[in-house]
Structure 1
């Protein structure tokens, strides 16, 4: 069932595939062939301009918003307050269906790292693989918290599976958003909200997607080196990004949402590490800002800049794919993106196999500093792929397992 309303006091009635409102001019019709709802307004006037809320029947409600502007071609249609973009707080629904509050019983005292892995509700097998590979230290170490953040779902079978998984592994957090590309910012806001609500005294928060390989030993070494840093996000920093002003583009950003010619520098979305004082600062800042669905730009760019949070380049938080057979490079990295789940067991075993010898140096928190000093994105990538992936003498057989 779907209900559309412009004003909260409109009474709604949905009969099968049609919704009626107290305003008899307004109704909605569902078409099974296209799986779309069409909103009808009879004798529409400029007074019908506004934000229409679409409520999808579920528990709790799924709330979506559609902005409609009605203009009179014979009148002077000046900009009104209704042209202002919706704020982030208009989209974000706080709270958690599955809170996972037991994961931080003392508010994070003694916790060095919270790993929040963002995952789709149906990715049960992926999470199972992560628990037995790179995320295992999050289960075994007392100073690390592992949690999987999932969206709510209208699929009853998937929901039952999520609840069972939460009972068995006790590491599921389910937030009040629906999985959709336009909701990625809401997903990261839920991550920040959970940290600030249940684990605010933890030292660091790692946000990671579930298609990554994370070298936990290197990550903890990195954290030890930066233990006292505050108001900082580490990751793959992107400089001078420009908003897409093409209204037909997937990444379109209106001037009302961000009016400057460039976005602030931001940290690439698949994986980034932030100090524990950052989540509430960015969360509170973004609630007052127009909603931007481009997650990394919104959270680690706009939100971070306005909240006075530094973005620091950490090349070892690698956001490019790495060949699954490149054991030695995995030993030099903290994170690698777009790793097939079926390869994780093999990568994990080889990275920790003492019999696999590499001609590369051991990882240290200063190893990547030559790359970290570069600003241009392509030069940065060249540094990572050549400086640390090429043999020192030029002989192809010198790099890699001995």
Structure 2
């Protein structure tokens, strides 16, 4: 699970090495704020398991699904491949491509074992994008910028992309239906937060001190559980990042880059994105685009029921 911003969050205790990220975050601040050109010109991501750079452009997808997920979280990747992630052709002619985005394993004790498993999985499925950063909650902004860099470099033939967390249910046909009438430029949508307060309590994982962000409210931004954007935006966001001071809350940071670009996120259709887990019901799931799911959910059993023939309601 990779939620940020005001999203529900689980399972980040494995990131004990993240204390070291004080140095990494400091380096990132230097990277983005002192020398703005570094990300776009010198800090090209080094891909560790990504072997077929031409795959995305060859498929010419209508939408590319990018799932940020920890290297050790094999179960979520399997669940997604076996459920909504296996829908590669929707509404007759809309191609959907799925990729998982990973960093370095953050578990100090068995990092080598996890990395070997990742290499074997990459060889088998060809859908893993792994880059050279420590995969940890505090590095989600770095992970997001790596995603933007990859999209602008390797997916120029796509029309849209969606960043979606690994503990989500995605109704792909509804997503495609929404995008079939959406703008193809300067478009970003999801569950958009308006007027969200900056949290100053040190007890919250979303704490930001005034020295990092002096304003009392964030600009409009789409929650990190899942947001969709037109493929002209990655290049623009990477460019904007050279002028926007970084914060570790990745969805907020995308919102700050959007504000710099003077582009306002688009509100989605009513009740289509759910930040709190929506209890599975065949009828209700047929009407949404995305929802978080509880860790105890048998997603493959639900999918078997959801994908069977017959009316939903």
TM-score range, shorter chain: 0.7 to 0.9
1:264 aligned onto 2:219: yes
Name which of 309, 331, 338 aligns with 2:263: 309
Q: Separation in 2 of the partners of 1:317 and 1:101?
A: 33
**1:387-398 to 2 correspondences below 5 Å:** none
1:98 aligned onto 2:48: yes
Matched with 1:128 is: 78
TM-score when normalising by structure 2: 0.80
User: Residues 278 and 99 of structure 1: is their aligned pair in 2 closer, same or farther, counting only changes over 3 Å?
Assistant: farther
Matched with 1:381 is: none
How many angstroms does 1:246 deviate by?
Answer: 4.0
Name which of 127, 131, 135 aligns with 1:171: 127
Matched with 1:373 is: none
Q: Separation in 1 of the partners of 2:285 and 2:46?
A: 35
Name which of 287, 308, 312 aligns with 1:353: 308
Q: Separation in 2 of the partners of 1:272 and 1:120?
A: 19
TM-score when normalising by structure 1: 0.63
Segment of structure 1 superposing worse, 92-101 or 275-284: 92-101
Name which of 57, 64, 84 aligns with 2:24: 64
Q: Separation in 1 of the partners of 2:175 and 2:217?
A: 32
Q: Separation in 2 of the partners of 1:354 and 1:341?
A: 26
User: Residues 133 and 195 of structure 1: is their aligned pair in 2 closer, same or farther, counting only changes over 3 Å?
Assistant: same
Matched with 2:4 is: none
How many angstroms does 1:104 deviate by?
Answer: 4.1
* 1:64-119 Cα distance to aligned partner (Å, 9 max, x none): 3569xxxxxxxxxxxxxxxxx64537897531333636364474673211110111
User: Residues 65 and 203 of structure 1: is their aligned pair in 2 closer, same or farther, counting only changes over 3 Å?
Assistant: closer
Q: Separation in 1 of the partners of 2:33 and 2:152?
A: 16
Aligned residues: 282
* 1:266-325 Cα distance to aligned partner (Å, 9 max, x none): 1111101001111111122123322201111111x111111233311114132221113x
User: Residues 178 and 124 of structure 1: is their aligned pair in 2 closer, same or farther, counting only changes over 3 Å?
Assistant: same
Matched with 1:152 is: 104
RMSD: 3.0
User: Residues 196 and 288 of structure 1: is their aligned pair in 2 closer, same or farther, counting only changes over 3 Å?
Assistant: same
Matched with 2:66 is: 116
Q: Separation in 1 of the partners of 2:294 and 2:46?
A: 29
Matched with 1:23 is: none
8 Å Cα contact 1:114-1:202 kept in structure 2 = yes
How many angstroms does 1:262 deviate by?
Answer: 1.6
User: Residues 101 and 264 of structure 1: is their aligned pair in 2 closer, same or farther, counting only changes over 3 Å?
Assistant: farther
User: Residues 282 and 108 of structure 1: is their aligned pair in 2 closer, same or farther, counting only changes over 3 Å?
Assistant: farther
User: Residues 203 and 108 of structure 1: is their aligned pair in 2 closer, same or farther, counting only changes over 3 Å?
Assistant: farther
8 Å Cα contact 1:196-1:280 kept in structure 2 = yes
8 Å Cα contact 2:159-2:184 kept in structure 1 = no
8 Å Cα contact 1:213-1:339 kept in structure 2 = no
Q: Separation in 1 of the partners of 2:201 and 2:167?
A: 30
> In structure 2, the residue corresponding to 1:194 is in which secondary structure?
helix
| Larger fraction in helix | 2
Q: Separation in 1 of the partners of 2:231 and 2:26?
A: 35
User: Residues 357 and 144 of structure 1: is their aligned pair in 2 closer, same or farther, counting only changes over 3 Å?
Assistant: closer
Name which of 116, 129, 146 aligns with 1:190: 146
Q: Structure 1: which 5+ runs fail to align?
A: 1-34, 39-53, 56-61, 68-84, 359-402
How many angstroms does 1:225 deviate by?
Answer: 1.9
Q: Structure 2: which 5+ runs fail to align?
A: 1-15
Matched with 1:180 is: 136
Name which of 76, 88, 91 aligns with 2:32: 88
8 Å Cα contact 2:244-2:260 kept in structure 1 = no
